[in-house]
């Protein structure tokens, strides 16, 4: 049998009263106060006022993260904000992009240079600040992962990785998610589903990570439609936060697969949001994956008391129940190139995802999957949910 492990998981506090733990945690983890790295959209909701009230007389610096996924420039700007308050704890508040920005800023601020020197593990981190994560969306699992995403000046989606970026504390406050709009709820929830499925079926899958992945799949199917239909349902919101965290734990140990290599290609080439692009990537690849490696999906299928061959139907039913076609229709039509998608799928930054997939495509299969990705996009824009 192969050797495998389950990496360290942060302390996690979940529930409507979770924010009450923040002040004591900040005081225990640092001596210089807190730097709040806040999602721009979250700042507009006024949630940071609740955070500031919870921190009472703790010295604070607030840094607003611009909309969109992290870039080298936005991470470096956040790192400068962190450096402005020595020995402070970094508190990331927002979706995956804000949390990834906060986590990277917490390690970059320990040195004097740019995050660019750490991309693709080119150099080891030189230190870190303590990190607290407060996710406000339910999909990326960034609150429990050691991998962060960012783009360079050329728009390439890259990544950084390190134990140093794992938060010290995660606060799951479901009230942060009740104002999340339908399209964000759907896209991020499907992201959690993709994470869980790829972790449970990939080459690096193991029994220790299968447990959180399987439960995450069940939670998404049972609660995402409710969260989409009634955003104020705090129970559904909390269950989706838990699903995202569990799926994040699974991918942190087992990695992702071809839906993510497709998704990162779509993100690099066309700047589609992560949850949208990986959901389309999974729709394109799922039938081919299961046809060639059905045994890899047996454990995942157990989440639904189903067989592996039922998973594509479960996925497309979830698309319908979460109104995913409406999400895709928010975007202008795009002129895709299957050849370019196939090329970027195996760029150096995306190669680990392809190699970890349940089956690894050859060149002709990659092009076929890229063509299926374009078909999936067109079908969803026309109001279909899969096929």
pLDDT score, position 31? 86
Residue 225, Cβ neighbours under 10 Å: how many? 19
- Cα dist from 283 to 114, 229, 251, 369, 374, whole Å: 37, 22, 19, 10, 11
Q: What is the mean pLDDT of residues 289-309?
A: 97
pLDDT score, position 156? 86
Close Cβ partners of 136 (under 8 Å, ≥ 6 residues apart): 39, 42, 47, 93, 94, 95, 98, 176, 177, 180
How buried is 295 (Cβ within 10 angstroms: 0-12 exposed, 13-18 middle, 19+ buried)? exposed
pLDDT score, position 1? 60
pLDDT score, position 385? 74
User: In angstroms, rounded to a whole number, what is the distance separating the alpha carbons of residues 358 and 202?
Assistant: 5
pLDDT score, position 113? 93
Q: How confident is the model at residue 183 (pLDDT cuts 50, 70, 90)?
A: very high
- The closest alpha carbon to 300, from 190, 209, 185, belongs to 209
DSSP strand E in 152-257: where? 157-161, 169-172
Enter the tokens of residue 380: 């969803």
State percent of the chain over pLDDT 70: 99
Residue-wise pLDDT tens digits, 109-150: 999 999 999 999 999 999 999 999 999 999 999 999 999 989
**Phi, psi torsion values for 7, nearest 5 degrees:** -65, 170
User: In angstroms, rounded to a whole number, what is the distance separating the alpha carbons of residues 150 and 156?
Assistant: 8
Q: What is the mean pLDDT of residues 344-353?
A: 94
The pTM is what? 0.93
β-pairing, 34-39 with 89-94? Answer: parallel
Q: What is the mean pLDDT of residues 172-193?
A: 95
Residue 175 has pLDDT above 90, yes or no: yes
pLDDT score, position 288? 98
Indicate the average pLDDT of the chain. Answer: 95
Q: How confident is the model at residue 101 (pLDDT cuts 50, 70, 90)?
A: very high
Q: How confident is the model at residue 2 (pLDDT cuts 50, 70, 90)?
A: confident
- Write the DSSP symbol of residue 71: B
- Write the DSSP symbol of residue 333: P
Residue 177 has pLDDT above 80, yes or no: yes
Higher pLDDT: 56 or 278? It is 278
pLDDT score, position 386? 62
Q: How confident is the model at residue 378 (pLDDT cuts 50, 70, 90)?
A: very high
* Element (DSSP H or E) covering residue 257: none
How buried is 208 (Cβ within 10 angstroms: 0-12 exposed, 13-18 middle, 19+ buried)? middle
Enter the tokens of residue 217: 């799949």
pLDDT score, position 358? 97
- Cα dist from 63 to 22, 55, 118, 264, whole Å: 18, 16, 22, 27
Going 63 to 68 to 74 to 78, the CA torsion angle's sign is positive
Distance of CA 219 to the CA centre of its chain: 16
Close Cβ partners of 322 (under 8 Å, ≥ 6 residues apart): 185, 186, 189, 190, 224, 225, 228
**Phi, psi torsion values for 71, nearest 5 degrees:** -125, 165
Domains in the chain, start-ordered, CATH in brackets? Answer: 11-176 (3.40.50.1970), 180-381 (1.20.1090.10)
Residue-wise pLDDT tens digits, 328-342: 999 998 999 999 999
Residue-wise pLDDT tens digits, 27-62: 999 888 999 999 999 999 889 999 999 998 899 999
**Phi, psi torsion values for 335, nearest 5 degrees:** -90, 100
pLDDT score, position 387? 61
């Amino acid at each position: 049998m192969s050797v495998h492990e389950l990496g360290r998981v942060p302390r996690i506090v979940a529930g409507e009263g979770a924010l009450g733990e923040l002040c004591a945690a900040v005081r225990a983890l640092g001596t210089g106060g807190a730097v709040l790295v806040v999602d721009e959209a979250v700042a507009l909701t006024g949630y940071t006022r609740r955070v500031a009230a919870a921190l009472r007389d703790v010295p604070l610096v607030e840094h607003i993260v611009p909309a969109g996924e992290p870039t080298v420039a936005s991470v470096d700007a956040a790192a400068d904000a962190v450096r402005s308050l020595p020995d402070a704890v970094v508190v990331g508040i927002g979706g995956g992009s804000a949390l990834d920005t906060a986590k990277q800023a917490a390690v970059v601020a320990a040195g004097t240079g740019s995050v660019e020197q750490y991309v693709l593990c080119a150099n080891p981190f030189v230190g870190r600040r303590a990190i607290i994560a407060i996710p406000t969306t339910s999909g990326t699992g960034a609150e429990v992962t050691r991998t962060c995403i960012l783009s360079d000046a050329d728009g390439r989606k890259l990544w950084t990785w390190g134990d140093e970026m794992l938060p010290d504390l995660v606060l799951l406050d479901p009230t942060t998610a009740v104002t999340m709009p339908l399209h964000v709820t759907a896209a991020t929830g499907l992201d959690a589903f993709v994470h869980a499925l790829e972790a449970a079926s990939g080459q690096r899958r193991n029994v220790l990570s299968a447990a959180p992945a399987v439960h995450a799949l069940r939670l998404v199917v049972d609660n995402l439609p409710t969260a989409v239909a009634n955003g104020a349902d705090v129970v559904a919101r909390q269950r989706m936060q838990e699903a995202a965290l569990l799926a994040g734990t699974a991918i942190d140990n087992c990695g992702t697969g071809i839906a993510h290599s497709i998704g990162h290609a779509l993100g690099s080439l066309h700047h589609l949001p992560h949850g949208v692009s990986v959901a389309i990537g999974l729709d394109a690849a799922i039938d081919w994956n299961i046809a060639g490696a059905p045994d890899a999906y047996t454990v995942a299928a157990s989440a639904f008391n189903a067989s592996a061959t039922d998973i594509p139907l479960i996925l497309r039913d979830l698309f319908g129940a979460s109104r995913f076609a409406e999400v895709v229709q928010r975007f202008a039509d795009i002129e895709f190139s299957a050849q370019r998608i196939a090329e970027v799928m195996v760029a150096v930054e995306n190669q680990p995802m392809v190699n970890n997939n349940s089956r690894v495509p050859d060149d002709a299969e990659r092009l076929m999957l890229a063509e299926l990705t374009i078909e999936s996009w067109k079908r969803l824009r026309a109001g279909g949910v899969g096929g």
